[in-house]
C-alpha cells in the first residue's frame, strides 16, 4: 500500500503527521508545566515551580465535593449505559426481521444524532415536573441515555466480527440461550465493553450541558464548576491542575494497557517457542500412535459407559455401538419458495459413517443444519433413534457438530473448550476432568490441554474441535466440511484418524463434503445430493459401478455417457447401436467408466467405433487420454507401468468395451 506514494510524498505525509501530532498534543501537554507554576499568573514556561495548585485542590473542600459528586454520577451512568448498551447490542444483533432490526438500529443511534441540548430541555421539563432536578441518579440516567449509542455501536461492531458459528457450536454442545450468552458471547465482547464503559465514564465525568440543566443551584458537578469558573471568574488556575491529574490518569491507563499487551505478547511468544520445541520432538510417531489408540480403545469405552450413566442420556446404547440411527422421513425445507432440501427420505444405521456429497449449493449444509437443529423442516420428520427430534432445540439434541470454521471458543483454553459440553450438562468436576483427558487423548492432543486456541495450528484446532464434539458421547456426530481448510497431506492423515476414531467409538457420523475422494476414503455409504434432492445413497463401490443417474455418474468419478433409445439388447443413437449389459427399453443412458474402455482391442466387436486422440496426459499412476468420436468426447484412463507410451495427438484408435463392464440407467 505504500505503493501509491512516492518516497518524497511519503516524507511529506510524515511531516504533515508530525504537525498534526503537535497540534493534537501540545494543548494537552502544555497544561502540565503551567499547573506547576507559582502564583495566579498563567505563564509558560513557569517562572517558579510549586505544588500550590495541587495542594489547593485538596485543601479547598468544594473541589473535592464536586469531584466526588461527579464520580458518583459518572459511575452510575457507566453502570446504566454499559448494561443497557450491551443488552441492546446483543439483542438487536439477534433480531432476524430485517425491518425491525433497522428500526431498532436507527432508534438506538438517535441519541447520538440529536444535540445534547435538545434531549436536555426535554428531560428538564420532565424532571422538573417530577421533582427530580438536582439528584444524582436522574442526572446519571440522563448521561447514560445520551451516551448509549457509543456503547451499542462498538459492541455491535465487535459482535459482527465474531464467527456466527460460535453461538451454534455452543448450542450444539448443549448450552441453552443464557448459558451461551454468559459464557461465550459476553466474554468475547469484553474488550469492546471495557472500551465503551471507559468512554461513558469520561463523557459523564466531563459533561456540562445536562449537568447545567438538570442539576439544582447547589448541585455542582466538577465539569459544571470548571465551566462556571471558566466563563465567569476569568481563568482559575485550579483547572490546570485538575486537567493535569486527568491526564496522568489517562496516561496511567495507557501505560497499564501497553504493559498488559506487552506481557500478552511475551506469553504468546514463549508459548510459540514451546510449541515449536514440542513439534521438533515428535509427539507420537504414527505407528505407535495407532497402536496406543487400539490399546486404550479396549478399556476406554467401558469408562465412558459410566460417563453415559451419569448423563443418563441413552439407555439403548451399548459399549460397542454407541451411535444412534437417524431416519429422514420425507424431510423438506423451503427458503422462500425454493425448496433447498426436498423430500429427503432415507435412514442412517447406528454406527454408520455416512457422507453427504454434493456440489456447492446442493443443500447439503441445510440438511446438516436440519439435523443439528438450527433450521426446522417445513415438512417431514427427523428421527434420532426412535425419537422425533424435528422440533427439539439444538442444545437438547445431544448431537456433536464439528464446524467448518471449527468454532472453538477463542477465550477458553483447550481443556475448557472440551469441558464446555460437560459443564453445560452438569457433569461433576472430577468426571469432567477425566472425560476431557479421555477426549484429548483420543485425538493425541493430551499435552495441549492448557493451550489457548489462537496458539494452535489449523490441524491442531481441527483435533480439538473433534475432541470437543465427542467428549459428551453424543448420539451422532455431524461434520461440516471439517477438513477443507487443511493442506492435502494433513487432510489425508485426518481422514484416517477420524475414520479410526469413529470405528472405535461406534459413533454414527454424518460427514458433509464436496470432495469425492474424501467421500471414497471414509464412508460406509455415500449420499449424493444435488439441487436439494438425494440422488442416491449407496456404498462407494455401488455408487461407482452402478450410479443411479447421469448426475451421480458424472459427479462421482469420471464417466462416458451415451444417451439413446434402448430396444431390448441394444441402444441406438446417431444411427449406431451399442450393446446393453441387460435388456431394457425406452430412453436410457449407457455409462462406461474410463478404465473399462479398450483401445484397438484385437477382438474388437463390430460395433466398435473410431476416436481421434485430442489429448494425452500423464497423471502419476494413470495415463489419461481424451478422444473425439462421432458420439461425442470419450475419456480413457490406463494404468501406467513405466513402459506404456502415450498416443500422439491425432492418432486414431478403435474404441470398445466389454458390455458387462458398462452400466445402464434411466435418462
Give least dist CB 257 to other proteins, A.
Answer: 9
Using CA atoms in the order 286, 290, 291, 294, what is the torsion angle rounded to 10 degrees? 170
Q: Which is nearest to 371 in space by CA: 230, 219, 581, 511?
A: 511
Judged by beta carbon, residue 216 or residue 285, the one nearer other proteins is 216
Say if residues 332 and 377 touch (Cβ distance below 8 Å): yes
Judged by beta carbon, residue 201 or residue 420, the one nearer other proteins is 201
Judged by beta carbon, residue 165 or residue 419, the one nearer other proteins is 165
Q: Is 44 helix (H, G, I), strand (E, B) or coil?
A: coil
Judged by beta carbon, residue 243 or residue 412, the one nearer other proteins is 243
Give least dist CB 203 to other proteins, A.
Answer: 9
Judged by beta carbon, residue 106 or residue 666, the one nearer other proteins is 106
Report d(CA 404, CA 414) in Å as an integer.
18
By the 10 Å C-beta count (0-12 exposed, 13-18 middle, 19+ buried), 370 is classed as: buried
Give least dist CB 217 to other proteins, A.
Answer: 11
Judged by beta carbon, residue 280 or residue 337, the one nearer other proteins is 337
Give least dist CB 259 to other proteins, A.
Answer: 14
3-state helix, strand, coil in the chain (%, to 5): 50, 20, 30
Give least dist CB 141 to other proteins, A.
Answer: 6
DSSP E strands: which ranges in 519-559? 525-530, 533-538
Q: Which is nearest to 128 in space by CA: 115, 114, 116, 142?
A: 142
Judged by beta carbon, residue 239 or residue 449, the one nearer other proteins is 239
DSSP E strands: which ranges in 351-473? 353-357, 379-384, 387-388, 399-402
The single residue listed with the C-alpha cell 511519503 is: 10
Judged by beta carbon, residue 107 or residue 539, the one nearer other proteins is 107
The single residue listed with the C-alpha cell 498416443 is: 647
Query: Can you give the C-alpha Rg of the chain in angstroms?
Result: 36
Report d(CA 245, CA 162) in Å as an integer.
37
Give least dist CB 134 to other proteins, A.
Answer: 15
Give least dist CB 129 to other proteins, A.
Answer: 8
Give least dist CB 157 to other proteins, A.
Answer: 5
What secondary structure letter does DSSP report for 646? P
Cβ contacts of 99 within 8 Å, gap of 6 or more? none
Judged by beta carbon, residue 381 or residue 496, the one nearer other proteins is 381
Give least dist CB 360 to other proteins, A.
Answer: 23
Report d(CA 206, CA 78) in Å as an integer.
13
- Strand 476-480 and strand 509-513: the pairing is parallel
Amino acid at each position: 500500500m505504500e505503493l501509491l506514494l512516492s518516497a518524497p510524498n511519503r516524507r511529506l505525509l510524515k511531516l504533515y503527521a508530525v504537525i498534526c501530532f503537535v497540534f493534537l498534543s501540545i494543548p494537552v501537554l502544555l497544561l502540565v508545566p503551567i499547573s506547576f507554576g507559582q502564583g495566579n499568573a498563567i505563564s509558560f514556561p513557569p517562572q517558579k515551580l510549586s505544588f500550590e495548585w495541587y495542594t489547593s485542590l485538596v485543601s479547598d473542600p468544594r473541589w473535592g465535593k464536586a469531584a466526588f459528586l461527579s464520580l458518583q454520577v459518572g459511575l452510575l451512568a457507566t453502570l446504566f449505559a454499559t448494561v443497557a448498551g450491551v443488552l441492546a447490542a446483543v439483542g438487536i444483533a439477534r433480531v432476524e426481521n430485517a425491518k425491525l432490526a433497522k428500526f431498532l438500529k436507527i432508534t438506538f443511534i438517535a441519541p447520538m444524532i440529536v444535540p445534547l441540548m435538545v434531549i436536555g430541555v426535554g428531560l428538564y421539563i420532565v424532571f422538573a415536573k417530577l421533582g427530580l432536578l438536582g439528584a444524582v441518579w436522574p442526572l446519571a440516567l440522563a448521561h447514560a441515555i445520551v451516551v448509549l449509542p457509543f456503547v451499542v455501536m462498538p459492541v455491535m461492531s465487535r459482535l459482527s466480527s465474531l464467527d456466527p458459528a460460535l453461538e451454534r457450536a455452543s448450542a450444539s454442545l448443549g448450552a441453552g440461550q443464557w448459558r451461551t450468552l454468559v459464557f461465550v458471547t459476553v466474554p468475547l465482547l469484553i474488550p469492546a465493553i471495557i472500551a465503551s464503559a471507559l468512554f461513558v465514564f469520561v463523557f459523564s465525568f466531563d459533561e456540562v450541558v445536562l449537568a447545567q440543566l438538570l442539576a439544582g443551584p447547589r448541585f455542582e458537578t466538577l465539569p459544571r464548576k470548571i465551566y462556571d469558573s471558566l466563563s465567569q471568574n476569568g481563568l482559575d488556575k485550579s483547572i490546570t491542575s485538575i486537567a493535569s491529574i486527568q491526564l496522568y490518569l489517562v496516561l496511567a491507563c495507557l501505560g497499564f494497557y501497553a504493559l498488559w499487551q506487552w506481557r500478552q505478547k511475551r506469553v504468546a511468544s514463549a508459548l510459540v517457542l514451546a510449541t515449536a520445541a514440542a513439534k521438533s520432538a515428535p509427539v507420537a510417531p504414527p505407528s505407535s500412535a495407532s497402536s496406543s489408540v487400539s490399546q486404550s480403545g479396549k478399556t476406554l469405552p467401558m469408562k465412558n459407559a459410566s460417563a453415559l450413566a451419569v448423563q443418563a442420556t441413552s439407555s439403548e446404547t451399548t459399549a460397542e455401538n454407541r451411535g444412534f440411527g437417524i431416519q429422514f422421513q420425507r424431510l423438506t425445507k423451503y427458503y422462500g419458495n425454493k425448496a433447498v432440501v426436498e423430500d429427503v427420505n432415507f435412514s442412517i444405521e447406528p454406527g454408520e459413517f455416512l457422507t453427504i456429497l454434493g456440489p456447492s449449493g446442493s443443500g447439503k449444509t441445510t440438511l446438516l443444519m436440519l439435523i443439528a437443529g438450527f433450521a426446522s423442516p417445513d415438512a417431514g420428520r427427523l428421527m434420532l433413534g426412535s425419537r422425533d427430534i424435528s422440533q427439539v432445540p439444538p442444545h437438547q439434541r445431544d448431537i456433536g457438530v464439528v464446524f467448518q470454521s471449527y468454532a472453538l471458543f477463542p477465550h477458553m483454553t483447550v481443556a475448557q473448550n472440551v469441558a464446555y459440553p460437560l459443564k453445560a450438562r452438569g457433569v461433576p468436576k472430577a468426571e469432567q476432568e477425566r472425560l476431557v483427558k479421555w477426549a484429548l487423548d483420543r485425538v493425541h492432543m493430551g499435552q495441549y490441554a492448557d493451550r489457548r486456541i489462537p496458539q494452535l495450528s489449523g490441524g491442531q484446532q481441527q483435533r480439538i474441535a473433534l475432541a470437543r464434539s465427542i467428549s459428551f458421547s453424543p448420539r451422532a456426530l455431524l461434520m461440516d466440511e471439517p477438513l477443507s481448510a487443511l493442506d492435502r497431506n494433513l487432510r489425508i492423515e485426518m481422514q484416517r484418524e477420524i475414520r479410526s476414531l469413529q470405528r472405535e467409538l461406534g459413533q454414527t457420523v454424518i460427514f458433509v463434503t464436496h470432495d469425492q475422494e474424501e467421500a471414497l476414503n471414509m464412508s460406509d455409504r455415500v449420499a449424493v445430493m444435488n439441487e436439494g434432492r438425494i440422488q442416491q445413497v449407496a456404498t462407494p463401490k455401488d455408487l461407482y459401478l452402478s450410479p443411479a443417474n447421469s448426475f451421480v455418474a458424472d459427479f462421482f468419478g469420471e464417466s462416458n455417457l451415451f444417451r439413446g433409445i434402448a430396444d431390448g439388447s441394444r441402444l441406438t443413437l446417431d444411427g449406431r447401436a451399442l450393446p446393453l449389459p441387460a435388456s431394457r427399453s425406452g430412453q436410457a443412458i449407457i455409462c462406461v467408466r474410463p478404465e473399462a474402455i479398450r483401445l484397438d482391442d484385437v477382438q474388437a466387436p463390430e460395433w466398435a467405433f473410431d476416436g481421434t486422440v485430442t489429448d494425452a496426459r500423464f497423471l502419476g499412476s494413470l495415463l489419461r487420454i481424451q478422444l473425439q468420436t462421432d458420439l461425442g468426447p470419450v475419456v480413457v484412463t490406463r494404468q501406467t507401468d513405466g513402459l506404456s507410451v502415450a498416443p500422439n495427438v491425432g492418432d486414431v484408435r478403435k474404441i470398445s468395451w466389454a458390455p458387462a463392464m458398462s452400466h445402464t440407467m434411466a435418462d
